[in-house]
Structure 1
Amino acid sequence: MKQREQWTSKIGFVLAAAGSAIGLGAIWKFPYMAGTNGGSVFVLLFIICTMAIGLPILLAEFVVGRRGQHDAVTSLKRLAPKSSWYLIGWLGLGTSFILLSFYSVVGGWILSYLTRAIASRLNTSDYVGLFSSIIANPIEVLLAQAVFMILTVWIVQSGIRGGIERASRWMMPLLFIFFIVLAIRSVTLVGAMEGIRFLFVPDWSYLTGKTFLLALGQAFFSLSVGVTAMLTYASYLPKEEKLGQSAFNVSILNIFISILSGIVIFPAVFALGHSPDEGPGLIFVILPAIFNEIPLGGFFMVLFFILLLFATLTSSIAMLEIVVSTGIGKKNEWRRKAAWLFGLLIFIVGIPSALSFGVLSDVKFPGGTFFDFADILTSRFGLPIGAFLISIFAGFLLTTAETDDELRMHPFLNRSWKFIVRFVAPLAIIVIFIASFLS
């Protein structure tokens, strides 16, 4: 039997796993969630939720993935034979497929902004109008989506070592460097300290149940748990790697980048007299306007959208890898053809999402446009249900001997982890799931 491909090093795995988590969740969603929910208190709750609940679920995916040593469906069949638990794998595959179908649309928007920034065509007085015109142009959005998917497929088709790990090894360090450069520029603006205070000095009036639930939901979303991406990546890990340390490193990197994105954005927002609660349009509408007002703004705008493209790609390759890994099974020689085939299918499924703000804007689906519908299917159903089932599986279906063999941590930490994935995490997910329909 041909040996399953493995990561060449621990750092390669950690960077790839962190890249899966550090995508639009950290750079796009975290700033606007923090901006609309009081800043510092949301940040504090996000850190607590990530380390206390998100990290244990992430570790659960790592345990199941390395124990199974295969794609999600086959791993779960091996670990729980003659049961229906393997359906978690199919749920993760379906969620990843739909998620990438509209995620690639946003990736296309980023490419559109990046090309305009490079050509110095982002100087305008109406960034709201610019954003609306870009996402409503059917030719541009479909072409940009196609280019983004081609980039994703090109990386995944080369495998774990030659594609995903190699890409992560240069994209993630560059992402960190670009972020630090942008953060330094942002905090040196006149009036920037108001943004730093917003991000780090607590306003306890925002310490509410709603803020806690939103922070908990952001922790799950930003760690990429529930779609079996981390399970799939962990299946390529050799036995000697310490899962607890890897999960901790991924969680810390995710928190670091999330906070750094706040340091990039909020000092500039306050320095130039904008409001931090602009919502989802913060990156595509407010940030270009800010860059347009500062010295060397064009250069920093290009830098920012390159950074955003890297972060989006590292997440998209994880989602495509879930689909490809399941599709090829043990036949790694099929990887290249499978990557292009599934990439094409995902692009086709994503066409209605791409056209949701133009040609199909008047066609209504549950929740709004088709883009909104796909988002609801994944973020409100696929992600939380997947995370819930993985927690239950790792907590109750795997024996203590099996989990201890994978974790190899102090007995107290093993027991604490087991308690959280059995009781605390599932309860938290149920609360978020219910609250999302009541809000």
Structure 2
Amino acid sequence: MSERETWATRAGFILAAVGSAVGLGNIWQFPFKTAQFGGASFLVVYLIAVFGIGLPAILAEFVIGRRAKLNAISAFGRLGHGKWRFVGALGLLTGFWILSYYSVVGGWVIRYIWGSLQGAYFSDPTAYFGAISTGVDAVALHAVFMFLVVVIVALGIKDGIEKATKVMVPSIIIIMLGLAAYGATLSGATAGYDYFLSPDFGALMANLGEIVPFAVGQAFFSLSLGMGAMITYASYINRDDSLVADGSTIVVLNTFVGVLAGFVVFPLLFAQGIDPNTSGPGAVFVSVAGAFANIPAGRIVGLVFFLVVLIAALSSAISLLEVVVSYVIDNHDVGRAPTAAAIGVSLFVLGLPSALDTAWLGWFDTLAYQLLLPVSVLLVLLFVGWVLGGEALSEVLKGTGLGNGFGLTWLWMVRVVVVIAVLGTLWLGIQTLFLGPEPAIVPPL
């Protein structure tokens, strides 16, 4: 077996992890979920979930990865708890599942870049999305997006993922800041800010049971938790850097980009009098495309917006593919490039139903949000908190200069507070999936 790769720099790890987190979850899913569940009401629950649940959970995944220095499945065996490998396997399966339909959405983004240049969606955004979101074109662009992801991962950790994310992540932030500044100049932007930032706490409490599972699922999705990605990325750290500092940086930057996406999308929508409260995986594409049709320099703004979405999608997708590639090359004497290509083909095949029918994509997404992600995160938390225990405590404190008081607070947060929060979220999600009048667990026919 060849020597295992590591990050060239600490900044490379941070940017790669931020790139994993800052993806379609922030720019596609976050505005879509925010609009679907009441604007600022969803934002409040999401922010609590990110910092109260997401930050302790990301540190738990980092602990496993860095201590074991192996992929998300084999790590449990190296830590002396081989019976827990199924937890890593579930994370790998979850990331694989998500990437299969994520790639389809990535293909949509490629098509919208071209459509922005032509102004193709300006006359009827709804019809345009309906025409390009499924069928032969959607399948072809799904293949193109997956090919791009495979190429980056095939180049390796230092020469592929690290170099790519060092360009991608700063580009995302700079372009999004520019778009947000542009949005602030639009007439009607203030109404968008009010919708996004002024919660109705009465409505929030009345709909809390519906909002919580999606807000927590969004936190997991946007931080790449429960997919094996953060375990895998942390396994390439070769020094005693502060996991707390790195994890906090990643969570803050990820949340900043998600909120920044709201400052871009909602002023655009309200400036054109477009109702943001639409549902379905194409909601943001249709709504934002409709806004671009009527604003000054709409083609240029649309091009820039969808370009940054593509960069974000790629930066996140490469982390999900790396989870599977890492497992294969850690355990078998095979090359990185052919492994990435073979897994990419498998993902392409699994994503075909989503490319042929958006109902399938919606079902894949709902199952990931409400079942796979919370179960996977819950098992990681139980392992780190109650099985690894003292080892996890010593690992999380390395390089921090912090005392045992901080470590014990984090450990008991993981053991009790965060576990209870995830259990509650999982129960609410199961009620929606299995116990509702029309269970979402039934796939479309």
TM bucket, shorter chain: over 0.9
Match of 1:366 in 2: none
* Cα distance between partner residues in 1 of 2:265 and 2:367: 29
Partner residue, 2:130: 132
The whole-number CA distance in structure 2 between the counterparts of 1:277 and 1:349 is 30
Tell me what 1:301 maps to: 302
Q: Distance in 2 between matches of 1:315 and 1:202?
A: 30
> Residue 203 of structure 1: CA displacement?
2.4
Partners of 1:370 and 1:215 in 2: CA distance: 22
Partner of 2:371: 381
Residues 287, 55 of structure 1: alpha-carbon distance in 2 compared, 3 angstrom cutoff: same
Q: Is the 8 A contact 2:92 2:323 kept in 1?
A: yes
Aligned to 1:329, the other structure's residue is in SS state helix
Q: Distance in 2 between matches of 1:14 and 1:234?
A: 10
| Matched ranges for 1:362-377 at <5 A | 369-377=359-367
Q: Is the 8 A contact 1:37 1:206 kept in 2?
A: no
Checking the alignment, whether the CA contact within 8 Å between 2:63 and 2:395 is kept in structure 1 is no
What is the identity, as a one-letter code, of the residue corresponding to 2:140?
L
* Residue aligned with 2:90, SS: helix
In 2, Cα distance between equivalents of 1:401 and 1:145:
42
Q: Which residue of 2 aligns with 1:346?
A: 347
Consecutive unaligned residues in structure 2, runs of 5 or more: 433-445
1:323-352 superposed Cα distances (whole Å, 9 cap, x missing partner): 100111166861011011111111122222
Q: Which amino acid aligns with 1:318?
A: S
Cα pair distance change 1:295/1:72, threshold 3 Å:
same
> Which of 381, 385, 402 is matched with 1:395 structurally?
385
Deviations, residues 187-238 of structure 1 (Å, cap 9, x unaligned): 1101211111222233222332333444223222221111111000000012
CA separation of 1:229 and 1:328: change in aligned 2, threshold 3 A: same
Larger deviation: 194-203 or 205-214?
Answer: 205-214
Counterparts in 2 of 1:402 and 1:31: CA distance versus 1, 3 Å: closer
After TM superposition, where is structure 1 displaced by more than 4 Å over at least 4 residues in a row?
Answer: 330-333
Deviation per CA, 1:148-184, whole angstroms, max 9, x where unpaired? 0110000000111000011000011111111011101
SS of 1:85's equivalent in the other structure is helix
Determine the structure 1 residue equivalent to 2:411: 418
Q: Distance in 1 between matches of 2:166 and 2:365?
A: 30
For 1:414 and 1:41, the matched residues in 2 are separated by 32
2:340 partner letter: A
C-alpha distance in 1 between matches for 2:2 and 2:199: 55
Q: Which residue of 1 aligns with 2:187?
A: 190
Q: Deviations over 1:16-39 (max 9, x none)?
A: 111111112111121122223332
Q: Deviations over 1:113-141 (max 9, x none)?
A: 112212332321x21111111123x2211
Shift of 1:402: 4.4
Provide the residue aligned with 1:200 in structure 2: 197
| Cα separation, partners in 2 of 1:37 and 1:374, compared to 1, 3 Å | closer
TM-score under structure 2 normalisation?
Answer: 0.91
- Note if 1:89 corresponds to 2:88: yes
Contact 2:193–2:266 (Cα < 8 Å) also in 1:
yes
One-letter code of the match for 1:431? G
Say what the alpha-carbon RMSD is for the aligned residues: 1.8
Identity %: 37
1:157 and 2:147 correspond: no
Deviations 1:28-53 (A, max 9, x none): 12112222333223222222221111
CA distance in 2 between counterparts of 1:265 and 1:372 reads 21
**Amino acid corresponding to residue 91 of structure 1 in structure 2:** L
Q: Which residue of the partner structure matches residue 175 of structure 1?
A: 172
User: Residues 383-434 of structure 1: CA distance to partner in whole angstroms, max 9, x if unpaired?
Assistant: 1111011001111111314432343333222111111111122221221111
Report 1:205-354 matches (<5 A): 205-208=202-205, 209-210=208-209, 211-280=211-280, 281-329=282-330, 334-354=335-355
- What does residue 38 of structure 1 align with? 38
1:55-92 CA distance string (max 9 Å, x none):
101110000000110111111111134x4201112112
After TM superposition, give the deviation of residue 109 of structure 1 in Å: 1.1
Is 2:67 the counterpart of 1:50?
Answer: no
Q: Is the 8 A contact 2:143 2:348 kept in 1?
A: yes
Cα separation, partners in 2 of 1:15 and 1:273, compared to 1, 3 Å: same
How many equivalent pairs are there? 425
Letter in 1 for 2:131: S
Where structure 1 has 5 or more consecutive residues not aligned to the other structure, the ranges are 358-368
Change in Cα spacing, 1:379 to 1:332, as seen in structure 2 (3 Å) is farther
Residue pairs, 1:90-109, within 5 angstroms: 90-109=89-108
Amino acid at match of 1:298: R
Aligned counterparts of 2:275 and 2:413: Cα–Cα separation in 1: 38
Structure 2 counterpart of 1:128, one-letter code = T
Aligned 8 A contact 2:67 2:395 in 1: no
